[in-house]
Amino acid sequence: MALPLIVTPHYTLEQPSTGKQITYRPFLVKEEKLLLMAAEIEDERESQREAIKAIKQVIENCCDDLDDINHLPLFDLEYIFLQLRAKSVGEIVEPVINCPDCGSTIKLKVDLSKVKVTKPAAIKFDIRLTDTIGVKMKYPSFEVFQSRLLGKDFSLEQVFDVMIDCIECIYTAEEVHSLKDYTREEATEFLDSLTQEQFNKIQEFFENIPRVEHKIKYTCKHKVRTGDTTSEPCGHKGEIVLNTVNDFFG
């Protein structure tokens, strides 16, 4: 006789980049183990690598109707993961920050169901660099994040690598040059040939990319000493913007 299986509920969410309805289930113990195993790794860089792999696997396991996860925009995946976490473990998370005045730790309270993706009014994928030459851009994908954005400090070479990965093609009136047909050295040479004004136009694309974002106001209630025997709440009031997955669980 087979053991009984528990029926897992299913939910829907709207994929931010497309408006498409995605069906998903909460992650189960087998998926939570992947996340916990990544968190237990002592080496920070290796832990980041394993956490990325675990998040990818959890999303693939729990979501239906998703396109190739490696090519989905990063903000889609961060949003989807936060909604999975809300339905799987609980909607409330309590990230910790340090008070800029007294240095004490402050525990915030965030409702993941209220987290949104902020979008600019209109993002330009088609960027004219000159009267005859332009580039067509695409969002940074999970694949780009995985291969380029590990670590906290990005070198100039890494910045160029991300830009190259996000240029879909370079075009003129007569030709379209898909960057996948060219070497990274050739693409770098193209970027090196730009004026600062032209380069800034490409940088502006990245500044306007949609992102997971949640603003929260806080007041530090930690008591600080004001005399030999007296103390009173710090009282510092501030606002912080959470805009990466790590920010919500820090």
Phi, psi at residue 123, to the nearest 5°? -100, 135
Confidence of residue 219 (pLDDT cuts 50, 70, 90): very high
- Statement: residue 62 has pLDDT above 70: yes
- Statement: residue 151 has pLDDT above 50: no
Q: Calculate the average pLDDT of the chain.
A: 87
For residue 5, give Cα distances in angstroms to 2, 8, 32, 227: 9, 9, 18, 62
| Lowest mean per-residue pLDDT among 4-8, 185-189, 219-223, 228-232 | 228-232
Mean pLDDT, residues 18-47 = 85
Q: For residue 223, what are its two tokens?
A: 């008591």
Most confident residue range from 157-161, 189-193, 209-213: 189-193
Look at 230 and 6; give whichever has higher pLDDT.
6
Q: Look at residue 248 in the predicted model and tell me its pLDDT.
A: 85
Q: Are 202 and 137 a contacting pair, CB within 8 Å? A: yes
Mean pLDDT, residues 103-127 = 90
Q: Tell me: the pLDDT tens digits for 120-141? A: 777 889 999 999 999 999 998 8
pTM recorded for the entire structure: 0.83
Confidence of residue 152 (pLDDT cuts 50, 70, 90): very low
Return d(Cα 74, Cα 55) in angstroms, integer: 12
- Statement: residue 199 has pLDDT above 60: yes
- Statement: residue 55 has pLDDT above 90: no
Mean pLDDT, residues 152-166 = 76
| Lowest mean per-residue pLDDT among 110-114, 143-147, 175-179 | 143-147
Return d(Cα 116, Cα 47) in angstroms, integer: 27
Q: Please, what are the domains in the chain?
A: 1-90 (3.30.2220), 92-119+212-250 (no CATH), 129-207 (no CATH)
Confidence of residue 65 (pLDDT cuts 50, 70, 90): confident
Beta-carbon contacts of 30 under 8 Å, excluding residues fewer than 6 positions away, are none
Mean pLDDT, residues 165-183 = 94
